[in-house]
């Protein structure tokens, strides 16, 4: 293998592939990035066996040519060093040349690196997915869906399925759901797919989605999603992102959402976030973020919290569209505040079903998002 | 105590005083900020017993009035909560009122905090310093001096004096020196002080200078420095910064600097930094940043490093004004690169006195800065 390539173009592609690589792997070759050069272009692969990212640099595009491939071939080089080395190369182009079976020379201007690697024969193959179940979405929308659900996944491995986001497609609608059993975030959108397409119990690890989200841009570009029983593949221009799916059955969440309640009201999203942040100053450490909410007639609620050692805080917040009984409830303020931060609506409605039952938060502007929370017992 | 004050003005002042407070103190009351209100203004004090910061908000300035003091008095409130609470207050003003001997009510708009505190009688008094030894400097210059020396202090407590920066004044010149015994950074400037003023063996803890530097601005405003045998005081407008001095005798460094050598050359500061950064990619972990430098005729040096597991790198760098013998030397690349980053001169001169003796790096543009380094044995 021997090629000369535009440094910037190469660096971007290496950084993307490097996102999948972790030094904590138990399989030594996965600390490497696989580089394959053909006269048509260069492919880079990084993987931690849960996530794999393949990036491709075509020989040329409409603008210009990016490389000269003197000799085809493949190599695996240690990702940690390789990605930093190419990033710090001084010249506009760099040359990478195989130098013995498992070593490479990387040159740019007067700089020459000799870097040891691994035998590319031993690098695991990427899965070949059957493209039976395929949907398409604009990238920015997928990014929104991830942002608006992934924060609610469980961080505890006791119930592994809850560390992922559940995707379901039915009647031309995609529903993404995440829950850690104390709170639930659900986002729905219409998707372009075959009418008859139904997908259920597809659970993508939260960690994979967070990495994917870092690669997605805010543009209208479409992304293609291919789903099989064990893998999901996100296809972008010159980039493939594979993730394994989580095994197991996601809890049935659709019947958890109460449709009727005892008390409902509308509150300013930002005002409630700020109020919770102040209240959490005192409840953060000792009290597991317990915040109290009390209705005070139809126009006002009181938010309060107490810390025996530090002190207490209370403040009133104006509400509108108040309907139903007076109410007193306690909850984990961090959970509510996390959810409010991903709601892009100026006001939210809250539906309470009693002091000891789950309550629902929705944006006022649209019906594509639901957040559900368990209250906290305080006695 | 009872006053109403402009929130922003109060927040800035509290944040400054809070810089001296640490939660790691063994003296509980020092986790608090002391607030004293008189009709003339409000004073805030934070301290970790090494550093103390006193900020003052005058009742008014040319622009406007900042407060209404209903009742004079003093309190100590827990810094960690207090500083965050005032920062998150919603209104343009906030009211602080003593509420029992050791508690306060802080109100802003509809928000009411009740916060527990400490008995202000128990808060330690700040030292009263004799103003016999006083110098004045523009703030930006003091900030430069700190930045250009403090990185070289020792981080090890085995020789405590080396964790500080040594200040000396003689013949109207201030010299600041820091060394960890492997490298030395020295910065000299002219100062405004009484002609006969001599100060020697004043060792200010590096940690104090780093904190001070965060408060200093880049302006021409003068800062007054008062030195006693155990304390130093930096006086700014409405802010006093006290630091204890380190006990002990700083090593005599002036005679360490070699004036003549075997090989000298001029190199581009930036080019050398970048070259060292590339070489350190390989020597960072295993090899304690060992970098090799070899002269290659009068126009070129070669920078290289090796890691048995990862690989090796070499590159050539052009030099000018080469004088003396051919040279081969090894050093800690991180130490050199730290120093080069604070040199504000496009080119540096290096004076080598032999492969096993210290070498000197100076900016080309002026003579106010010297860096000295020990080489590393590699065999």
Evaluate whether B46 touches B14 at the Cβ level (below 8 Å).
Answer: no
- What is the mean pLDDT of the segment spanning B308-316? 93
Candidates A130, A5, A123; CA nearest to A56 is: A5
pLDDT at B379 over 80: no
C-alpha separations of B113 from A192, B8, B74, B103 in Å: 52, 18, 18, 10
Place of tokens 């393949």: A54
Six token digits for residue B87? 């920062």
C-alpha separations of A153 from A184, A376, B213, B238 in Å: 8, 19, 42, 49
> Pick from B113, B278, B310: which is nearest to A111 by CB?
B278
Q: Indicate yes or no: CB of A311 within 8 angstroms of CB of B111.
A: no
Domain B133-254 superfamily per CATH: DNA Polymerase III, subunit A, domain 2 (3.10.150.10)
Six token digits for residue B251? 């090593």
Burial of A252 (0-12, 13-18, 19+ CB in 10 A): exposed
Lowest mean pLDDT segment, chosen from A108-117, B131-140, B341-350, B366-375 = B131-140
Residue B231, CA atoms < 13 Å, CB-side half-sphere: 19
Q: Please state, in angstroms and rounded to a whole number, the distance separating the CA atoms of residues A246 and A207.
A: 11
Supply the pLDDT for residue B287. Answer: 61
pLDDT at B101 over 80: no
pLDDT at A92 over 80: yes
Lowest mean pLDDT segment, chosen from B68-82, B86-100, B114-128, B181-195 = B181-195
Residue of chain B nearest A110, judged by CA positions = B315
Tell how strand B93-98 and strand B183-190 pair up. unpaired
Minimal CA separation from A272 to chain B, in Å:
12
Supply the pLDDT for residue A358. Answer: 95
A130-134, A282-286, B267-271: which is most confident: B267-271
Helix, strand, or coil (residue A259): coil
- What is the mean pLDDT of the segment spanning A352-376? 95
What proportions of chain B, in percent to the nearest 5, are helix, strand and coil?
Answer: 20, 45, 35
Q: Please state, in angstroms and rounded to a whole number, the distance separating the CA atoms of residues B41 and B86.
A: 18
Q: Which of A98, A104, A111 to mutate to test the interface with B (most CBs of B within 10 A)?
A: A111
Residues of A in contact with B111 (CB under 8 A): 275, 278, 313-315
Q: Indicate yes or no: CB of A274 within 8 angstroms of CB of B316.
A: no
A194-224 per-residue burial string, b: 16 or more CB within 10 A, e: under 16: eeebebeebbbbbbbbebbeebbeeeeeebe
Lowest mean pLDDT segment, chosen from A53-62, A117-126, A280-289 = A280-289
Supply the pLDDT for residue A133. Answer: 87
Candidates A198, A41, A54, A183; CA nearest to A133 is: A198
Chain-centre distance of CA B152, in angstroms? 11
Q: Please state, in angstroms and rounded to a whole number, the distance separating the CA atoms of residues A318 and A265.
A: 10
| Sequence-separated (6 or more) residues with CB below 8 Å from residue A158 | none
Q: Indicate yes or no: CB of B311 within 8 angstroms of CB of A116.
A: yes
Evaluate whether B234 touches B217 at the Cβ level (below 8 Å).
Answer: no
> Pick from A85, A112, A278: which is nearest to B88 by CB?
A278
Residue of chain B nearest A86, judged by CA positions = B278
Residue B288, CA atoms < 13 Å, CB-side half-sphere: 8
**What φ, ψ does residue B162 adopt, rounded to 5°?**
-75, -5
| Sequence-separated (6 or more) residues with CB below 8 Å from residue A293 | A301, A302, A303, A327, A328, A329, A330, A331
B116-128 per-residue burial string, b: 16 or more CB within 10 A, e: under 16: bbbebeebeebee
Helix (H) / strand (E) element for A170: namely strand A164-170
Residues of A in contact with B85 (CB under 8 A): 278, 281, 313
Percentage of chain B with pLDDT > 90?
A: 85
Q: Please state, in angstroms and rounded to a whole number, the distance separating the CA atoms of residues A88 and A111.
A: 10
Residues of B in contact with A315 (CB under 8 A): 109-112
Q: Where in chain B is the domain with CATH 3.10.150.10?
A: 2-122, 133-254
Six token digits for residue A270? 């930002």
pLDDT at A204 over 90: yes
Place of tokens 């993508």: A204
> Pick from A113, A309, A310: which is nearest to B313 by CB?
A113
Supply the pLDDT for residue A352. Answer: 97
Q: Please state, in angstroms and rounded to a whole number, the distance separating the CA atoms of residues B202 and A200.
A: 72
Supply the pLDDT for residue B286. Answer: 63
Six token digits for residue B327? 């040279």
Q: Indicate yes or no: CB of A111 within 8 angstroms of CB of B313.
A: yes
Q: Please state, in angstroms and rounded to a whole number, the distance separating the CA atoms of residues A162 and B219.
A: 54
**What φ, ψ does residue B325 adopt, rounded to 5°?**
-80, 160
Strand partners, B100: none
Six token digits for residue B154? 């020792």
Supply the pLDDT for residue A379. Answer: 62
| pLDDT band, residue B219 (cuts 50/70/90) | confident
Helix (H) / strand (E) element for B87: namely helix B79-87
Residues of A in contact with B275 (CB under 8 A): 111
Residue range A246-264, pLDDT digits in tens: 999 999 888 889 989 999 9
Q: Please state, in angstroms and rounded to a whole number, the distance separating the CA atoms of residues A75 and B311.
A: 15
Supply the pLDDT for residue A293. Answer: 97
- What is the mean pLDDT of the segment spanning B84-102? 94
pLDDT at B268 over 70: yes
CATH code of the domain occupying B2-122: 3.10.150.10
Residue of chain B nearest A310, judged by CA positions = B116
Six token digits for residue A254? 């659709």
Dihedral angle computed from the Cα positions of residues A37, A43, A47 and A52, in that order, rounded to the nearest 10 degrees:
-150
Strand partners, B170: B173
| pLDDT band, residue A171 (cuts 50/70/90) | confident
Q: Which CATH number fits domain B258-373: 3.30.1490.20, 3.70.10.10, 2.40.30.210, 3.40.50.2300?
A: 3.70.10.10
Minimal CA separation from B278 to chain A, in Å:
6
Candidates A263, A266, A361, A276; CA nearest to A314 is: A276
| pLDDT band, residue B131 (cuts 50/70/90) | confident
Q: Please state, in angstroms and rounded to a whole number, the distance separating the CA atoms of residues B14 and B32.
A: 11
Six token digits for residue A53? 């990212």
Q: Please state, in angstroms and rounded to a whole number, the distance separating the CA atoms of residues B287 and B306.
A: 8
Chain A residues in contact with chain B using a Cβ-Cβ cutoff of 8 Å: 78, 81, 84-85, 88, 90, 103, 109-116, 274-275, 277-278, 281-282, 309-317
Six token digits for residue A82? 């390789």
Residues of A in contact with B110 (CB under 8 A): 315-317
A110-135 per-residue burial string, b: 16 or more CB within 10 A, e: under 16: bbbbbbbbbebeebeebeebeeebbb
- What is the mean pLDDT of the segment spanning B162-191? 94
Evaluate whether A143 touches A218 at the Cβ level (below 8 Å).
Answer: yes
Burial of B278 (0-12, 13-18, 19+ CB in 10 A): buried
Q: Where in chain A is the domain with CATH 3.70.10.10?
A: 258-373
Q: Indicate yes or no: CB of B111 within 8 angstroms of CB of A278.
A: yes
What spatial distance separates the first Cα and last Cα of chain A, rounded to whole Å? 70
pLDDT at B253 over 90: no
Minimal CA separation from A84 to chain B, in Å:
7
| Sequence-separated (6 or more) residues with CB below 8 Å from residue A323 | A263, A264, A265
Q: Indicate yes or no: CB of B84 within 8 angstroms of CB of A281.
A: yes
Minimal CA separation from B24 to chain A, in Å:
17
């Amino acid at each position: 293998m021997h090629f000369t390539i535009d440094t910037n173009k190469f660096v971007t592609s290496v950084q993307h592939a490097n996102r999948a690589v972790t030094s904590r792997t138990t399989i030594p070759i996965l600390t490497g990035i696989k580089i394959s050069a053909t006269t048509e272009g260069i492919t880079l692969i990084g993987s931690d066996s849960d996530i794999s990212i393949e990036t491709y640099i075509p020989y040329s595009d409409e603008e210009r040519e990016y490389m000269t491939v003197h000799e085809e071939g493949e190599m695996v080089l240690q990702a940690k060093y390789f990605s930093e080395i190419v990033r710090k190369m001084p010249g506009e182009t760099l040359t990478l040349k195989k130098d013995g079976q498992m070593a490479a020379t990387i040159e740019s201007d007067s700089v020459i690196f000799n870097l040891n690697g691994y035998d590319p024969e031993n690098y695991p193959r990427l899965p070949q997915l059957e493209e039976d179940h395929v949907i398409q979405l604009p990238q920015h929308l997928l990014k929104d869906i991830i942002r608006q659900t992934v924060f609610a996944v469980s961080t505890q491995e006791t119930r592994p399925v809850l560390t992922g986001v559940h995707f379901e497609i039915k009647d031309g609608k995609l529903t993404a759901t995440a829950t850690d059993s104390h709170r639930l975030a659900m986002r729905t959108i219409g998707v372009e797919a075959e009418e008859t397409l139904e997908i259920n119990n597809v659970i993508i690890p939260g960690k994979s989605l967070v990495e994917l989200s870092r690669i997605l841009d805010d543009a209208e570009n479409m992304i293609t999603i291919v789903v099989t029983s064990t893998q999901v593949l996100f296809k972008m221009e010159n980039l493939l992102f594979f993730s394994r799916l989580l095994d197991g059955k996601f809890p049935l969440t659709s019947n958890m959402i109460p449709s009727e309640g005892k008390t409902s009201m509308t509150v300013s999203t930002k005002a409630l976030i700020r109020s919770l942040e102040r209240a959490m100053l005192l409840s953060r450490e000792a009290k597991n973020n317990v915040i109290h909410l009390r209705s005070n007639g139809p126009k006002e609620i009181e938010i309060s919290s107490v810390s025996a050692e530090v002190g207490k805080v209370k403040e009133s917040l104006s509400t509108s569209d108040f309907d139903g009984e007076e109410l007193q409830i306690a909850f984990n303020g961090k959970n509510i505040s996390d959810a409010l931060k991903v709601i892009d609506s100026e006001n939210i409605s809250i539906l309470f079903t009693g002091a000891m039952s789950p309550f629902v938060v929705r944006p006022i502007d649209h019906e594509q998002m639901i957040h559900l929370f368990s209250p906290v017992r305080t006695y």
